[in-house]
Chains A and B, each alone.
Chain A
């Protein structure tokens, strides 16, 4: 092997070590929630002793003890920092993490496999906050998230719009002309439908955009690429074949920040979910209240009720706070007109993430 090739491999391993450390630190922060620090000392000595016995001839036991000690000290320092734990769905590098950074700049961002893990983790106190996508400008509502919003008791305390700039990524050993299969989250694949058709590429759904990038980097399946953010290219050492492959340039996803407690303040936007009886004019009656009170609606979405598929839940976002008199009186009137009404809370209107 040539020197250049060896250097490349070494760099790749170093990068993987750091990405793994990032994951490890996240887990250490999670464990702090569950366990008091006095139990830590015994566990630490046990772990160090076990690693020493690993018997790797190029990694001496004295060196591995020193290295692990440094890692443990750093994770202990991080635990002291009291960063809020922010859960997002996907792997590191996912758009959910980009949104989390924008919403909670000093957080510790914890990847979760599924949306339900984010909701349940926040509800049960495993995480402090959760960040979930609620709608995309090209593909519309993220139904799973909307469904979870109706069934769990979490409050919305913030929102952010993340511009989505999809890239086609591949390992540097992959010849772009041989790419036949593209892995990504179904939403991302749908947003790049024309690009995939044009280049005769087969779309393979994967649980997450960043997860697809990570899998590609680790397993390097033949003739394959992934669709993910440019951040993932950096994180997982992949080449960007083409940037901006989404069908419409103005592609963005709106994320909500979830918490067990409502927003501590007035807020200038409010989200509610309601259902009305299946009778003529019921929905109109509700919307009329908003029109008459001069409240501007920013989102209306509907979804069939799981429990009663012939009926619908309606998602309304509007300008104004629950503390505003006109909003409060509209909601009081709605109480009588709806068969269910859930208030997700008022929060500051979102900005655009960088």
Chain B
């Protein structure tokens, strides 16, 4: 951690990031929505469903970093516009991934939070570019990365003069094959020791299994995470991407009903 200057905890107060009135780092924040923006109807239905269930922000991918060049690559600019419209109509701030440095200023025109995906965590030119926009950045942990490597990536964004970095643990590769990745929940208290930045958990991509998403979400709250990012699709069986791991609106509503009392309980615990 010796190279870190701005990301280290030291005596700094915890960072609270204001995203259109949502205080990340102070309140427990839930970001939900489909993996990718597919159509106006799908985006609006998903946005209304997650809003009704009590989500704080809306997610959706317009540029998709896919393992295969032949898989659905996202709707691009058209997807961004649909996402922005869904955000405007529900009043939810929007979070979307940017994968190409040439797109950064344009994505920043539409999105409230720029997401850097796990595959791009160490794409340093991209990190500098999002650092320059000043927009809040959701920095996912690389699936093969140590905490130190991850925090150095946060340092890249901070050093460009953008203090608004939200870290997101999304699981790392281990020898275990039953789950898609292994969710490293110990990252939450470790990150809290090391830095002043907020950290949220992605229970969807880390487990890759529907049945594991609710228990790991509950565990994330108990571990002291600042929020969750969860995939919700209004009709998961029709999703163009990651169909098997998206919650239905009913499942998401049910999960939210369990999370809120738990958050209140955690707030009441003695330090």
Contacts and interface: CB of A to CB of B under 8 A. Distances in A.
A125 B110 CA distance: 49
Nearest to B109: A242
B106 A176 contact: yes
A242 B102 contact: no
A7 interface: no
Contacts of B103: 177
A309 B110 CA distance: 47
A319 B77 CA distance: 48
Interface string B86-108: 00000000000000101101100
B94 to A, nearest CB: 14
A241 interface: yes
Contact of B110 (A195, A200, A242): A242
B105 A176 contact: no
- Contact-residue bracket for chain B: under 10
- Contact-residue bracket for chain A: under 10
Contacts of A242: 81, 109-110
A62 interface: no
A242 to B, nearest CB: 6
Contacts of B109: 195, 198-199, 242
A198 B109 CA distance: 9
Interface string B34-49: 0000000000000000
Highest count of chain A CB atoms <10 Å: which of B81, B102, B109: B109
A200 B106 CA distance: 11
Contacts of B102: 177
A177 B103 CA distance: 7
B24 to A, nearest CB: 23
Nearest to A239: B77
A176 B109 CA distance: 12
A242 B108 CA distance: 12
Contacts of A198: 105, 109
A235 to B, nearest CB: 20
Interface in A129-178: 176-177
A241 B105 contact: no
Interface in A180-203: 195, 198-200
Contacts of A241: 77
A78 B96 CA distance: 52
Nearest to A245: B109
B241 to A, nearest CB: 23
B244 to A, nearest CB: 33
A200 B109 CA distance: 13
A227 to B, nearest CB: 14
Contacts of B110: 242
A201 to B, nearest CB: 10
Interface of B: 77, 81, 100, 102-103, 105-106, 109-110
Top 8 nearest A-B pairs (CB, nearest first) are A177-B102, A199-B105, A242-B109, A176-B77, A176-B106, A177-B103, A198-B105, A177-B106
Given A176-B106, A177-B100, A199-B106, 8 more contacts: A176-B77, A198-B109, A199-B105, A199-B109, A200-B105, A241-B77, A242-B81, A242-B109
6 contacts: A176-B106, A177-B102, A198-B105, A199-B106, A241-B77, A242-B110
